[in-house]
Amino acid sequence: MTGRYAWIGKAARTPEFFRILATPSPLIDEDSRSEPISTGPRRRIMAADLDDLQRKLDALKEAGRRAEEQMGDFSRMREQISELQAAATSADRSVTVTASPGGVTDIQFTQDALRLSPAQLSSTVMSTLQLAIAEAARKQAEVVQEYVPDSDVLERVMRTQDELFGSHAEQPQQAPVDDDEVPDSFLDGGR
């Protein structure tokens, strides 16, 4: 025999054989005759499984998109912080200190600073430094808070500064005049 069923033996070419071929197989799912039911270690993939896999894939893609967005946000945050500067001026306006995230970037003295004793100038510079650095830290925390709103970084910075420097950023105070000190100014050289 040649043709379509040539591979089937002579005994199998009976009407009964062809009826069996036309009968639905127990290995074929009734809902979808093209999806096999697996009896082995491999599991049958059903439409519900495909939907679940698609949801997981979509969730993974969304997580990747959010991660890329956060990376962009963190890059912008880092750039804003790197450009940040804060300046503080002493109460007597004799000293101005500028600070950035990396530390102090500038100290300016007016002519009035030249009239201060070394102890007074030192005290004024140190207290103005503290103010500038504290302001820079607050500004950094504000930037971080903007990009990470669930964070309490700004609150923690403010609380730490309150513990270290008092409830409000205090203006620098002048060191008391020491009567035993001979020079009136560090420029006088002790005269």
Task: Indicate the DSSP class of residue 79.
Answer: H
pLDDT at 123: 95
In degrees rounded to 5, what are phi and psi of residue 132? -65, -45
State pLDDT tens for residues 29-81.
555 545 554 554 455 567 777 888 888 888 888 888 888 888 888 888 888 88
State pLDDT tens for residues 124-165.
999 999 999 989 988 988 888 888 877 787 788 778 777 776
pLDDT at 101: 86
pLDDT at 38: 52
The answer to whether 135 and 168 are in contact (CB under 8 A) is: no
Integer distance in angstroms from the first to the last C-alpha of the chain?
A: 130
The predicted model gives 87-100 an average pLDDT of 95
Residue carrying structure tokens 């959010």: 66
pLDDT at 171: 44
Say how far apart CA 104 and CA 97 lie, in whole Å. 7
Higher pLDDT, 162 or 174: 162
Return the top range by mean pLDDT from 12-16, 105-109, 162-166, 175-179: 105-109
Say how far apart CA 128 and CA 171 lie, in whole Å. 8
84-165 domain in CATH 3.40.50? no
The band of 185, judged by pLDDT with boundaries at 50, 70 and 90, is very low
The contacts of residue 123 (CB under 8 Å, 6+ apart) are 172, 173, 174, 175
Mean pLDDT, the chain, rounded, equals 74
Three-state SS sequence of 28-72: ECCCCCCCECCCCCCCCCCHHHHHHHHHHHHHHHHHHHHHHHHHH
Say how far apart CA 136 and CA 134 lie, in whole Å. 5
The predicted model gives 79-100 an average pLDDT of 93
Q: pTM (2 decimals)?
A: 0.52
